[in-house]
Structure 1
Amino acid sequence: MGVQSLAVACGALALCLALTTATNPGFVVRITQAGLDYANQQGIAILEKELAQLKLPDISGDSRVLRVGKVHYELSRLRLRDFHLPYSRITPIPNVGLQVSISNAFAELDGDWRVKFYFVSRDHGFFNLKVENVYMKITLRLGSDTAGKPTISTSDCSARISKVRLLLSGKFGWLYNLFHSVIESKLRKSLESKLCDNVAKSVQNELQTYIQTLPVTARIDDKTGIDYSLVAPPRTTAQSLDADLKGEFYSLDHRSTVPFSPLPLAFPSDHDRMVYFGASSYFFNTAGIAYHKAGALVFEITEAMIPKDAGFKLDTSVFSAFIPQLEEMYPNMTMKFRLSAPTAPFLTIGPGGISFQPTVDAQAYAILPNSSLAPLFLLSLTGNVSAVINVRSGRIVGSVDVGRIRLSLKDSAVGTFKVRMMQSLMNILTSSTLLPRLNARLDEGFPLPLLDRIQLSNILVKYHENFLLLGADVHFQPRG
């Protein structure tokens, strides 16, 4: 094999390995330009407060003034009275990160000054410094740590001040004007350097700390949790910032590898909301696996659960109309059903919504006088189930509706019988007892991966092939 052929083969092998090891996300978060604009608004307000506390070092030096000679000056106790950033914007730079551009910023400082001339012992007073036309460019690098949490740091920063005006009070004001430009130049350089230092500290201390509040895992209940860790560092496009998350439910006691992988998500180019969440069918199906492994997909129907207006009791006398031998074997005995899923339910998501066809085993028992259970028969229940999803208080909530249930007999300890005769009765039992309790649990919902103190509004829900798209605007709730 020639060198060129070997290179081609190695390249093909590397590509195959990359394709086989690539991890598709089960859950995607997209922040649009509108969301970045809102983040910029909140972040700049914090940065203004940080810069208003900027500490500048004392400045001193010597300057030679024409016809005056050598002048020694000192500026001390520099106090930044305020700092305003009226124009700023965050822009995603593809494959780089985020760029923060600040223009026409202005600030005002004051402090004490002291000057010594060769013919005058000294003079002192107060000074005022107006800083105008401040321009800054900050590049933020995005990444992820070993726990799958996002990270952010300053990879580049430049600051330029085009106008500085120094006003010195004192009895030799005309003389100070001869060398104030030297002091202004030193103040400009000191301030430009301090601005980037302070921005880097603010990003590290404030922004990095805040984005680490994104939950990597979310405990749902005593059975399951959700893994929201990043599968790759956040990436930027020309229009948005995207974060690919694992998006996987897991059993707290029996976490194991999911037997299938998430499919790629064809994320649409919607930009009407500040943030979008893409919840794949993988995300929802791992919930079914997690609850099934945890033994949580088991439900009992007892006499006490039957609504009073149902018109029947859950006992052998009712079912003996379909199974004559039941009355002979277990006369007038209370019954109960134990419902369980033999396999984890598997749903599909498409433009028409969410649907699945779960299979449920319904084991019927007679409750004997000594409270022990006598197995009667085992039914298999299947039916078309549809789901409606929404977002409330930062949680995915939902409800399901079941169509006509189909029955088949899997086993019987009371002889054979025609399950078709039992169809209506089982429909009533599931719709009046199982469905309300299932929907009550779904109404509690599952938490979305949200940063601390973020509230959602203006919710949008759309169904796409293989995933659910949730859009929302955000509001940051400050402490206090």
Structure 2
Amino acid sequence: MGMQSVAVACGALTLCLALTTATNPGFVVRITQAGLDYAQQQGIAILEKELAQLKLPDFSGKSGKVRYSFSRLRIPSFRLPHSRITPISNVGLQVSISNAFAELNGDWRVKYRFIRGHGSFNLKVENVDMKIILRLGSDTTGRPTISTAGCSAHISKVRVRFSGKLGWLYNLFHRVIESKLRKNLESKVCDIVAKSVHNELQTYIRTLPVTARIDDKIGIDYSLVASPRATAQSLDADLKGEFYSLAHRSTVPFSPLPLAFPSDHERMVYFGASSYFFNTAGIAYHKAGALVFEITEAMIPKDAGFRLDTSVFSAFIPQLEEKYPNMPMKFRLSTPTAPFLTIGPGGISFQPIVDVQAYAILPNSKLAPLFLLSLTGNVSAVINVRSGRIVGSLDVGRIRLSLKNSAVGNFQVQFLQTILNYLTSHTLLPRLNARLNEGFRLPLPDRIQLSNILVRFHQNFLLLGADVRFQPRG
């Protein structure tokens, strides 16, 4: 095999290894052109303020027999009326600004032979064209980064108007002054752009949460698994999208599947939450021991028509009356394994298995185990977005019971069907839905509000779309 063939084979092998070891995201964020345009409007407004504070140094010189000096240079306004932002593959974003204009004021002094004069001047800068390249990446912690990869500014027209008794001297050296001011401005404008990107834009995007704490047990990992990808239509960010235990983080026993992200573009931003994302929540909560619930007498609604005690169940479990007459009871619900859900075009569904351990509460407050049931049923979920958080609620169909073991003899579990259905729908489900109603924070930077929410289900992931609004401070 020749050296060229070896090189080709090695290249192909490297590519295959790269493809097979690539990490699929558990969560995807897509910013469409409409979203980029909105972000550009906010950024241009900030840049205009930064440019209006631009400081130019005093300068002096000689043109022929005229000595001049310019001082106290200040810019009362800098306007960027026409701009466009476009994604650039493998780089990031390009911002193009055309026909910008500015105004500059200052003081002048001249000496021409035996004549001295001073006054003020007004400089009008027109037809300013700029091109800014923004490079997008990520740091070692998975936080997004942004930097200026290139900047060019060109000023086509500069006009100076002098005031003062010797303003006519301007005609002797105006071309030199206009040229110096134009070159100075072109250089300083790009300095301001780089400073604004570093101080304003980079600082702001670092408010995007890499981790989001949900409660005292669970967090979400929103770190980037790769640098943001720019395409012709959008900017995509692949995030880990994984729930984890704050006390002890362990490896998830399965990997995210590829997401066939649709080409929707009606909203400014889209979020793709994969089934992996939701299933890691089940694993994290299960390992943290948070999927354990107790049902006691105090939780039974007053209008239920029954009490949670052994007298209710003794009608079909005779040994209860013999061993534990008229004693209060308690149910302890737990999941032997983490619940595993599926997402498809029809929505989110899963069939959790729940162990239901019944106890009698003895007079000395100790617990006497009665029987252990296995409970399962079809559960569906409704998902929405509120205040920048994914919120939801569960609905449980008719449950199915089986007896795993009993300390009070065998009995027909179908007799418990009605009671367990009631306890599940009136005590357990409200508690779960109250927690889900609090929601999980979406990966959004500070001061972003979402509106015009869209919710759609696709194979293996949930698609959320929204328009955004930036809320300034104060």
Q: C-alpha separation between the residues in 2 aligned to 1:10 and 1:333?
A: 75
Q: C-alpha separation between the residues in 2 aligned to 1:448 and 1:391?
A: 9
User: Structure 1 residue 58: deviation in Å?
Assistant: 1.4
Q: C-alpha separation between the residues in 2 aligned to 1:356 and 1:187?
A: 69
Task: Tell me if structure 1 keeps the 8 A contact 2:391–2:438.
Answer: yes
CA RMSD of aligned residues (A): 1.1
1:322 to 296, 316, 333: 316
Question: Does 2:351 align with 1:357?
Answer: yes
Q: What secondary structure, in the 3-state scheme, does the structure 2 residue paired with 1:452 have?
A: coil
User: Structure 1 residue 424: deviation in Å?
Assistant: 1.2
- 1:92 paired residue number: 87
User: Structure 1 residue 276: deviation in Å?
Assistant: 0.6
Q: Cα gap change, 1:176/1:5 in structure 2, threshold over 3 Å: closer, same or farther? A: closer
- 2:69 paired residue number: 74
User: Structure 1 residue 2: deviation in Å?
Assistant: 4.7
Question: Does 2:38 align with 1:38?
Answer: yes
1:378-437 superposed Cα distances (whole Å, 9 cap, x missing partner) = 000000000000000111000000001000111111111111221111111111110111
- 2:300 paired residue number: 306
2:337 to 335, 343, 350: 343
- 1:67 paired residue number: none
2:444 to 436, 442, 450: 450
- 1:438 paired residue number: 432
1:267 to 246, 261, 266: 261
**Structure 2 counterpart of 1:95, which letter?**
N
Q: C-alpha separation between the residues in 2 aligned to 1:8 and 1:105?
A: 50
Q: C-alpha separation between the residues in 2 aligned to 1:370 and 1:398?
A: 41
User: Structure 1 residue 95: deviation in Å?
Assistant: 1.8
User: Structure 1 residue 4: deviation in Å?
Assistant: 4.8
Deviates more, 1:470-479 or 1:13-22: 13-22
- 2:102 paired residue number: 107
**Structure 2 counterpart of 1:408, which letter?**
S
Q: C-alpha separation between the residues in 2 aligned to 1:63 and 1:245?
A: 60
* Structure 1 portions without partners, runs of 5+: 65-69
Q: C-alpha separation between the residues in 1 aligned to 2:169 and 2:434?
A: 82
Q: What secondary structure, in the 3-state scheme, does the structure 2 residue paired with 1:40 have?
A: helix
1:76-135 superposed Cα distances (whole Å, 9 cap, x missing partner) = 1111111111111211112221011111111111111111112x2421111110111111
Q: What secondary structure, in the 3-state scheme, does the structure 1 residue paired with 2:172 have?
A: coil
User: Structure 1 residue 373: deviation in Å?
Assistant: 0.5
Q: What secondary structure, in the 3-state scheme, does the structure 1 residue paired with 2:236 have?
A: strand
**Structure 1 counterpart of 2:32, which letter?**
T
User: Structure 1 residue 19: deviation in Å?
Assistant: 2.2
Q: C-alpha separation between the residues in 2 aligned to 1:423 and 1:249?
A: 34
Q: C-alpha separation between the residues in 2 aligned to 1:470 and 1:54?
A: 41
Q: C-alpha separation between the residues in 1 aligned to 2:425 and 2:31?
A: 40
2:231 to 237, 247, 256: 237
Question: Does 2:184 align with 1:190?
Answer: yes
Q: C-alpha separation between the residues in 2 aligned to 1:309 and 1:286?
A: 38
**Structure 2 counterpart of 1:10, which letter?**
C
1:145-185 superposed Cα distances (whole Å, 9 cap, x missing partner) = 11111110000000011110011123333342132111101
- 1:58 paired residue number: 58
Q: Cα gap change, 1:131/1:8 in structure 2, threshold over 3 Å: closer, same or farther? A: closer
**Structure 2 counterpart of 1:22, which letter?**
A
* Structure 2 portions without partners, runs of 5+: none
Task: Tell me if structure 1 keeps the 8 A contact 2:118–2:166.
Answer: no
Q: What secondary structure, in the 3-state scheme, does the structure 1 residue paired with 2:262 have?
A: coil
**Structure 1 counterpart of 2:448, which letter?**
I
Q: C-alpha separation between the residues in 2 aligned to 1:117 and 1:254?
A: 80
Q: C-alpha separation between the residues in 2 aligned to 1:108 and 1:79?
A: 9
Q: C-alpha separation between the residues in 1 aligned to 2:426 and 2:205?
A: 45
TM-score, L = length of structure 1: 0.97
How does 1:18-33 map onto structure 2 within 5 Å? 18-33=18-33
1:427-460 superposed Cα distances (whole Å, 9 cap, x missing partner) = 1111111011110110010000110111111111
1:184-243 superposed Cα distances (whole Å, 9 cap, x missing partner) = 011000000000011100100111000000011011001100000111111100111111
Q: C-alpha separation between the residues in 2 aligned to 1:409 and 1:51?
A: 75
Task: Tell me if structure 1 keeps the 8 A contact 2:58–2:73.
Answer: yes
Q: C-alpha separation between the residues in 1 aligned to 2:56 and 2:41?
A: 26
- 1:334 paired residue number: 328
Q: What secondary structure, in the 3-state scheme, does the structure 2 residue paired with 1:177 have?
A: helix
Question: Does 2:362 align with 1:368?
Answer: yes
Q: C-alpha separation between the residues in 2 aligned to 1:15 and 1:181?
A: 58
**Structure 2 counterpart of 1:78, which letter?**
L
Question: Does 2:1 align with 1:15?
Answer: no
- 1:228 paired residue number: 222
Q: What secondary structure, in the 3-state scheme, does the structure 2 residue paired with 1:136 have?
A: strand
1:261-290 superposed Cα distances (whole Å, 9 cap, x missing partner) = 001111111111111111000000000000
Q: Cα gap change, 1:16/1:322 in structure 2, threshold over 3 Å: closer, same or farther? A: farther
Give percent identity, aligned residues only. Answer: 85
Q: C-alpha separation between the residues in 2 aligned to 1:243 and 1:329?
A: 62
1:234-254 superposed Cα distances (whole Å, 9 cap, x missing partner) = 110011111111100001112
Q: What secondary structure, in the 3-state scheme, does the structure 1 residue paired with 2:185 have?
A: helix
**Structure 2 counterpart of 1:91, which letter?**
T
**Structure 2 counterpart of 1:43, which letter?**
G
Deviates more, 1:6-15 or 1:50-59: 6-15
1:290 to 278, 284, 288: 284
Q: C-alpha separation between the residues in 2 aligned to 1:125 and 1:257?
A: 73
**Structure 1 counterpart of 2:49, which letter?**
K
What is the total number of aligned residue pairs between the two structures? 474
1:305-357 superposed Cα distances (whole Å, 9 cap, x missing partner) = 11111111111111112211211111111111000000000000000000000
Q: C-alpha separation between the residues in 2 aligned to 1:125 and 1:61?
A: 17
Question: Does 2:262 align with 1:255?
Answer: no
Q: What secondary structure, in the 3-state scheme, does the structure 2 residue paired with 1:41 have?
A: helix
- 2:196 paired residue number: 202
Q: C-alpha separation between the residues in 1 aligned to 2:152 and 2:391?
A: 46
